[in-house]
Amino acid sequence: MSDSLSDAMNPQRSFQALILTLHRFWAEQGCVILQPYDMEVGAGTFHPATTLRALGPKHWRAAYVQPSRRPKDGRYGENPNRLQHYYQYQVIMKPSPANLQDLYLRSLYAIGIDPSLHDIRFVEDDWESPTLGAWGLGWECWCDGMEVSQFTYFQQVAGFECSPVAGELTYGLERLAMYVQGVENVYDLNFNGLDGDDKISYGDVFLQAEQEYSRHNFEAANTEALARHFKDAEAECKSLLDFGNKGEGRHQMALPAYDQCIKASHLFNLLDARGVISVTERQSYIFRVRELAKACGEAWLRTEGGGA
């Protein structure tokens, strides 16, 4: 399959080709290929194309890459596997098609994982996001003992039952690429698939960023400002929800309000990385973000996109 491809477009040679191959595959399944959401999020699930679109009766299919930020996972670029910024490839299909497992396996085949050579397994993993008030049942997908994806049937999002249920796939792109490229250190990933002077590695693109952001996340971020911003985002979210609430009719501002919820969530993650949140406070922060997410989900269900 890959013989006819140039190195630049070979998913086993280049990180970007892995992404492009997945785009191509999921586009053929009728997914809209979206671009990353332009805000800092902890996971692809936070993209409104997943969180909000998972709610309500309307059919929906989308795929996109989402840069994901986990400030606490920063390792100053010194750990070969852990990053505070990484890419998730996210697929959402509502309602979940009957052959979703099969589609997933075919997507692996497309990026060069031949099931006749590998040991692919679906291992129980119940997913829960306390900040999104969401949970679902599914699996970790293992390839030769390595977790390469998460597979979830959403049951509840923002505190609301999903009706119908959406299927969500999340591929850890770096890890998957490391496996298909056969490298042990994420920074050694070949990003553009070329060799010699033309080669651009993952480290060339991201190592400096990992170092700088690790310093930022653990040492420099102004915790007082962050705490203030959190309060501001929380207040803004509520006031936008009030503004868009026109009584009985449709809600008019679910999406901008949800942006503020995303913002609050990221600010909480930064505060957490700075180690200034005690165990009790932690619970209360999570609760506050969840309340925002629930209110946004409720508003969304009263918009056109939410099926109102």
Partner 1 sequence: MPDLLLELFSEEIPARMQRRAAEDLKSLVTHALVERGCLYEGAQAFATPRRLALHIAGLPVHQPDVKEEKKGPRVGAPQQAIDGFLKGAGLTDIAQATIQTDPKKGDFYIAIVESKGRPTADVIADLLPGIIKSFPWPKSMRWGKASGEQGALRWVRPLHSILCTFGSDTEVPEIIPFDVDGLRSGDITYGHRFLAPTPIHVRRFDDYVAALEKAKVVLDTDRRKAIIVNDARDLAFAQGLELVEDDALLEEVAGLVEWPVVLMGSFEERFLDIPPEVIRTTIRANQKCFVLRQAGSNLLANKFLLTSNMIAKDDGATIIGGNERVVRARLSDAKFFWETDLKVKLEDRLEKLKNITFHEKLGTQYERVERIATLAQDLAPVAKADPALARRAARLAKADLVSEMVGEFPELQGLMGRYYATRQGEDPHVAAALEEHYKPQGPSDGVPTDAVSIAVALADKLDTLIGFWSIDEKPTGSKDPYALRRAALGVVRLVLENDIRLPLEAHKIDTHLIAFFHDRLKVYLRDQGQRHDLIDAVLASGQQDDLLMIVKRVEALDAFLASDDGANLLAGFRRAANILKAEEKKDGKSYNEAIDLHLLKGKGEGEEKVLADVLDVAARHAKDHVAHEDFAAAMKALAELRPAVDAFFDKILVNAEDPDLRANRLRLLASFREATRAVADFSAISGG
**Is residue 275 involved in binding partner 1 (CB under 8 A)?**
yes
Q: Is 89 helix (H, G, I), strand (E, B) or coil?
A: strand
- Give the per-residue contact string, 192-211, with partner 1 (x = CB under 8 A; - = no): --------------------
The tokens for 267 are 């600010």
**Is residue 131 involved in binding partner 1 (CB under 8 A)?**
no
Total residues in contact with partner 1, by rule CB under 8 A: 40
Question: What letter does residue 184 receive in the DSSP assignment?
Answer: S
**Is residue 55 involved in binding partner 1 (CB under 8 A)?**
no
**Is residue 103 involved in binding partner 1 (CB under 8 A)?**
no
Closest CA to 134 of 163, 160, 152, 167: 160
Interacting residue with partner 1 among 95, 159, 203, 256 (CB under 8 A): 95
**Is residue 96 involved in binding partner 1 (CB under 8 A)?**
yes
Whole-angstrom distance, CA of residue 305 vs CA of residue 49: 11
* Burial per residue of 9-25, b for 16 or more beta-carbon CB atoms within 10 angstroms, e otherwise: bbbbbbbbbbbebbbeb
**Is residue 110 involved in binding partner 1 (CB under 8 A)?**
no
Interacting residue with partner 1 among 35, 117, 197, 248 (CB under 8 A): 117
**Is residue 137 involved in binding partner 1 (CB under 8 A)?**
yes
**Is residue 163 involved in binding partner 1 (CB under 8 A)?**
yes
**Is residue 92 involved in binding partner 1 (CB under 8 A)?**
no
**DSSP per-residue string spanning 8-47:** GG-TTT-HHHHHHHHHHHHHHTT-EEPPPPSS--SSGGGS
Beta carbon of residue 260, minimum distance to partner 1 (angstroms, whole number): 30
CA distances to 16, 66, 188, 196, 279 from 201, in Å: 11, 19, 6, 11, 39
- For partner 1, the binding residues (CB under 8 A) are 57, 80-81, 95-98, 101, 115-124, 126, 136-139, 143-146, 153, 155, 162-165, 167, 179, 184, 275, 278-280
